[in-house]
A and B are shown apart, each in its own frame.
Chain A
């Protein structure tokens, strides 16, 4: 096929073009979440419209249910959940309900069930919908109005996007994870480097990643401002999907897999923008500031605005003030109060295994509060079957339930004002994990290592006994 993978999928899903030039891009799968759907359902009632394809639509309940909930808590105290359930009942939408075996974060549950498959399209009223682009899916995060639009029409009315490729060149140092690669890429491309673009991630370092690491990469496409991100499917993708309950079965599986193997950008495809990330020998990366592009290597020091280009100085100074950091401080000397492992970025089984490998035989440092929340009930069951819950609990972690939790500071799942938290999440924005909370983004391994020392610490350093 010709063109980039994104262009192929776009053209494949174009059901029509409006007079205003917007293409009507069909959404094969639509997973709503409860912060948006109550208002969209209300609007459908007001306008007398229906959900066009309730059979292709699902409802996640992930943003407003606490991950600290006791067994049997169904989230009934969340007005969002109550209203979302009522709307789903009325419009015939299936709910991944709290307490169901399929409950979890929308972008974790979709792929894990085999609901999102290569070459398909996906909408979710959440900016991290791009996560599922890792399977070669055309994925769009939307607001409430566009959610209502997909409910009523099963299409999104989109302006064409530009294409961009982020190419990872070279081989990173041992112990470098998907999270480190994407943090580095955002620091290179900038927090708005992908604006107006669909980003394809490529290069040997991407091909070497497992499916879950690729989801971590695509998850943070929005943090470089991209409307979506994707990775061409390959045998890793197909093997990962095989046997998943909602993936195509039997004859459909065979024809699907044959088609998936053809889904790639043509070798001569031209991208509107290309960013090369040199990751030869790259070390693990940690954020120091208040936007996800403010990142340095774990062995580095907090940068000095005086050394920065003029346009960045003011934002850096502001970030340093909020983060209560002084330029020149080695990251390894920054003490932390909290650690969090979870969110749609890093809460899958391989993320938990990565952290548990670091934690075995260690304890969380005195005074540090540590929380880990699996991304879905399935991840939780799988982790418990492998005894990972015991590793976390013995180290001193709280082992929570699945949901968005401390990523967005909702439902009381927040740190205390002034806390410094090292976190596997995607946004280090001011007040993101609670008012006044200072967030450092890092990989599960580095968050686990930091939990043990009480300071920002790379897992490699901890395991080497430095």
Chain B
């Protein structure tokens, strides 16, 4: 997994609650080999003739190269599609700051080197005001090592993240590899279940 340590870039505001993964990555943009570099918020960025919708935040000149997104409550709700995270990363946004994240979306972020930052309401509000004030003129920094967001005028917004999740992002850990260290326990569990509830350790084929 791609390592996340520190990111410096423009911060764009999308201050809505309940932004869902259908919005972030519409189904029409999905493909087996798609690189998801231009699918992000497709229906909000482009009209039905594929012309840019001028007033959508990522189409404003100062936010076209945004790398940080600040949004509201419950970001990433709905479908479990991981393309929502691939679309953000593909666009160049590798840090999303929110009041809260939907569970599956957040899990998908952690496995793709995208940093989900949750701030308490007062801090979130203060940072959102700062993002609006700076308006894409200067970059913000998301510093995972120091666990803080730093504004262009050096204001610091510390954030919490579980130590293990921080470590995994900082080192770009292979999540499956970590679980496979427990292969013996998994095998032991299977063995015990085959005794206790044999029907769960065998599965018939329909025909």
Which residues from chain A sit less than 8 Å from chain B, CB to CB? 15-16, 18-22, 24, 26, 28-29, 35-36, 38-39, 47, 49, 52, 55-56, 79-80, 83, 94, 96, 100-102, 113, 115, 117, 119-120, 125-127, 141-146, 148-149, 152-155, 157, 191-192, 195-196, 222, 225, 227, 245-246, 248, 252, 255-256, 259, 291, 311, 314-315, 318, 408-410, 417, 427, 429-432, 435-436
CB pair B197 A259 closer than 8 Å: yes
Q: List B residues 24-59 near A (Cβ within 8 Å).
A: 26-28, 30-33, 43, 48
Binds A, one of B74-82, B122-130, B138-146: B74-82
Check A431 against B104 for contact (C-beta < 8 Å). Answer: no
Q: How far is the CA of A101 from the CA of B185 in the complex (A)?
A: 38
Taking A145-B82, A155-B186, A408-B27 as contacts, is the C-beta distance between A417 and B48 under 8 angstroms?
Answer: yes
Q: Which of B28, B73, B165, B167 contacts A192 (CB 8 A)?
A: B73
B107–A410 touching, CB < 8 Å = no
State whether A18 and B182 are in contact (beta carbons under 8 Å apart), knowing that A127-B79, A142-B104, A195-B100 are contacts in the complex. yes
Residue of chain A at shortest CB distance from B84: A143
Residues of B within 8 A of A83 (CB): 32
Q: Are A15 and B43 within 8 A (Cβ)?
A: no
Smallest Cβ-Cβ distance to B189: which chain A residue: A15
Whether, in the assembled complex, B156 has its beta carbon less than 8 Å from a beta carbon of chain A, the answer is no
Q: Are B16 and A315 in contact (CB under 8 A)?
A: yes
Instruction: Report which of A56, A117, A256, A429 forms a contact with B78, defined as CB distance below 8 A.
Output: A429
Where the two chains meet, the residues of B that have a C-beta atom closer than 8 Å to any C-beta of A are 16-18, 20, 22-23, 26-28, 30-33, 43, 48, 73-74, 77-82, 85, 100, 102-104, 107-108, 111-112, 162, 164-165, 167-168, 174-176, 178-183, 185-186, 188-190, 193, 197-207
Please measure, in the bound complex, the distance between the C-alpha atom of A24 and the C-alpha atom of B186, giving whole angstroms: 8
Q: Report B-chain residues with C-beta under 8 Å of the C-beta of A152.
A: 176, 179-180
Do A153 and B180 form a contact, CB below 8 Å, given A15-B189, A127-B79? yes
Closest A-B pairs by Cβ, 6 of them: A20-B164, A15-B189, A16-B185, A248-B199, A143-B82, A145-B111
25 A/B residue pairs, CB under 8 Å, sorted by A: A19-B164, A19-B178, A20-B162, A26-B186, A28-B201, A79-B31, A96-B206, A101-B207, A125-B80, A126-B79, A126-B80, A143-B82, A143-B104, A145-B111, A149-B179, A153-B179, A155-B179, A192-B100, A196-B103, A227-B103, A252-B198, A256-B197, A417-B48, A432-B22, A435-B48
A246 x B78 contact (CB < 8 A): no
| Neighbour of B104 across the interface among A55, A96, A141, CB < 8 A | A141
A246 contacts across to B, CB distance below 8 A: 203-204, 206
Give the distance to chain B from A406, nearest Cβ to Cβ, in Å. 12
Q: A18-B182, A125-B80 are in contact. Are A80 and B32 (CB under 8 A)?
A: yes
How many angstroms from the CA of A22 to the CA of B176 in the assembled complex? 12
Residues of chain B contacted by A79 (CB below 8 angstroms): 31-33
How far in angstroms is the closest Cβ of chain A from B119? 16
Give the distance to chain B from A12, nearest Cβ to Cβ, in Å. 9
Contact in complex: A245, B111 (CB < 8 Å)? no
Q: Which residue on A lies nearest to B86, using beta carbons?
A: A144
Complex alpha-carbon distance, A291 and B23, angstroms: 12
Asked if residues B112 and A20 are in contact (CB atoms below 8 Å), the reply is no
Residue of A113, A143, A195, A318 with most chain B CB atoms under a 10 A cut-off:
A143
Which residues of chain A are within 8 angstroms of B82 by Cβ–Cβ distance? Answer: 36, 143-145
Among A28, A222, A417, contact of B200 (Cβ-Cβ < 8 Å):
A28
One of B80, B193, B199 near A252 (C-beta < 8 A): B199
